[in-house]
Amino acid sequence: MKNLQITIVLGLMILLGVSASAQDIIKIHDPIKLSGPRFGFTYIGGDLGKTLDQYDMSRYRSQFGWQFETRWFETSTGFQGLVETVVLLTGFETDDPNLSASLLFGFRTKEGFEAGAGPNITSTGDHALVIAVGHTVKLDYVNIPFNFAISPSSDAVKYTVLMGFNIRRH
């Protein structure tokens, strides 16, 4: 298992352009689960947003869901590798809510800055790339993430703001 973790650490560091020294890799821990609720809103731009305007419908949609996060590693400098699955109910206030799921691969720094990217698919069959950035504030054992994501597709650009909380669990 340690070899797999080291391989993941090195692969992510190479992909992210982060230089790794042997000292940085020494402090690798077992994966930690950091899952919890998420809520926020999405603004819909692009052609889909214009279509919504034509029907006098709001471009804003509520977001409620859950983020399943696993911290795969942490180096001695505090750099963390993350894998996240985010499942959201979008547009609960509309006549046509839908589900979406995103699988994000990313990182978090010791200071709490985080970034990730990955695929997204919805219950309507739409799919797109999601690129997210954010900051996590730590209060004792509680983490409070604030995230901004952009999801461009062929007919829309969706801008999402989410926040939530989780409690550190092994």
User: Closest Cα to residue 103, out of 125, 130, 81, 127?
Assistant: 130
CA dihedral 170, 76, 24, 15 (to 10 degrees): 60
Taking only the tens place, the pLDDT of each residue in 99-138 is 999 999 999 999 999 999 999 999 999 999 999 999 999 9
The answer to whether the CB of 100 falls within 8 A of the CB of 120 is yes
> Scanning the structure block, which residue is given the tokens 């034509």?
54
Per-residue pLDDT, 32: 81
**Given a cut of 50, is residue 19 above it in pLDDT?**
no
**Given a cut of 50, is residue 1 above it in pLDDT?**
no
**Total Cβ atoms within 10 A of residue 7:** 10
Question: Radius of gyration over alpha carbons of the chain, in Å?
Answer: 17
The answer to whether the CB of 41 falls within 8 A of the CB of 60 is yes
Q: What is the mean pLDDT of residues 139-150?
A: 94
**Total Cβ atoms within 10 A of residue 126:** 17
Per-residue pLDDT, 11: 55
pLDDT over 90 percentage in the chain: 66
**Given a cut of 50, is residue 5 above it in pLDDT?**
no
Answer whether 0.85 is exceeded by the pTM.
Answer: no
DSSP summary character for residue 141: T
**Total Cβ atoms within 10 A of residue 124:** 11
Q: Compute CA 72 distance to the chain's CA centroid, rounded to the nearest angstrom.
A: 15
Per-residue pLDDT, 74: 86
Domains and CATH numbers, the chain: 2-167 (2.40.160)
> What 3-state class would DSSP assign to 113?
strand
Taking only the tens place, the pLDDT of each residue in 31-41 is 788 899 999 99
Identify the residue with better confidence: 26 or 91.
Answer: 91
